[in-house]
Amino acid sequence: MRLGVLDIGSNTVHLLLVDAHPGARPVAFASHKRPLSLIAYLGDDGAITEAGQRELIEFVAEAGEFARRHRAQDLLAFCTSAIREAANGGAVLARVEAETTVRLRELSGSDEASLTFLAARRWYGWGAGTLLDLDIGGGSFELAQGADELPETALSLPLGAGRLTRDWLAGDPPTAKSIKKLRKHIRASVREAAAVFEGSGRPDLAVGTSKTFRSLARIAGAAPSAAGPYVRRRLLRTDLGLWTKRLETMSIDDRSNLGGVSLVRAPQVLAGAMTAHAAMEAFDLHELDICPWALREGLILQRFDTLRFESDGPLPDSPLPEISLEPATAASPGTFYGKSVE
């Protein structure tokens, strides 16, 4: 069947169509996206402005039409911290549905961490042992660790690269004083989070997901995406530390000329590097594996797992009813989107 996944993130809005069936590897069919930094459309009151709402509605309508035109049989549409933490997030979701008929589901921070962890687990398999997954988005930073498909510990911190850049790094390049203040803030937040994971023991494998980690690994010398997803990519803490210092003095234009860094993400790559380095220090990690799967793939995998569980036979060719995504909580690891996994 053909499944559409509409991802309303903090940096981009992206519709991905994949062909797959339960138990199979999802294969990308088509993609439609545009840069849209919803964080940049937050007013002084923390609400998404009218201009930002119009941009969002326009894209969601385009995405719905794109999915229909390419015969998608099902659509998962979700949003993360950019709308979740906006002062008018609920009203924005209602307006999007009213004007486009597409219902965006709001994922909690623990949802994001758990689904991304699921994707990493499936990519590396059970043989990887206990996994620690770090994922830096535009609005938040997710951390999750566990030995199973659901993490034992999952946290979401307001340390997204776009958020930190907007709130702390105004200059181009930013001042040494602003960088020092931000580094202190990040380190304090990450150390506090790392303390929560102390009871989980040391992971057998630590991985980084998200575009931020892929860009940082590319800057530090990892193979480009054109080499394919099965080329192993790693990020060493020593290399990241050196590049973080270099990024501090580089202009946005200079950063955009680095391999793996787009003009859209160039302003926030420094904040992402600072968060990644602080996390590797706090968890005493000398290197990270870079996982090509992340939140979007986690949603796809969970969707097909549920369909396989609920179906008595082959999946129909007609559109399937959308599954309700009930918020998961870190306090109840025995549930996933409201379904018992015990």
CATH number at residue 100: 3.30.420.40
Q: Which residue has the tokens 């949603």?
A: 299
Q: What is the pLDDT of residue 339?
A: 28
Residue that finishes a domain, picked among 76, 106, 136? 106
The stretches in the chain having pLDDT less than 70 are 308-342
Residues 240 and 185 in one domain: yes
DSSP 66: H
287-290 and 205-209 as β-strands: parallel, antiparallel, unpaired? parallel
What CATH number does residue 122 fall under? Answer: 3.30.420.150
Q: Domains in the chain: how many in total?
A: 2
Residue that finishes a domain, picked among 62, 77, 106? 106
Instruction: Quote the domain boundaries for residue 124.
Output: 110-290
Q: What is the pLDDT of residue 142?
A: 98
**What is the rounded CA–CA span in Å between residue 165 and residue 161?**
6
Non-local CB neighbours of 281 within 8 Å, separated by 6+ positions? 187, 190, 237
CA 275 to centroid of chain Cα atoms = 15
Q: What is the pLDDT of residue 311?
A: 53
Q: Please, what's the b/e burial string for 279-297 (b: 16 or more CB within 10 A of its CB; e: otherwise)?
A: bbbbbebeebbbbbbbbbb
Q: What is the pLDDT of residue 326?
A: 34
Q: What is the pLDDT of residue 328?
A: 32
**What is the rounded CA–CA span in Å between residue 136 and residue 134?**
7
Q: Is residue 340 assigned to a domain?
A: no
Answer yes or no: are the C-beta atoms of 233 and 289 closer than 8 Å: yes
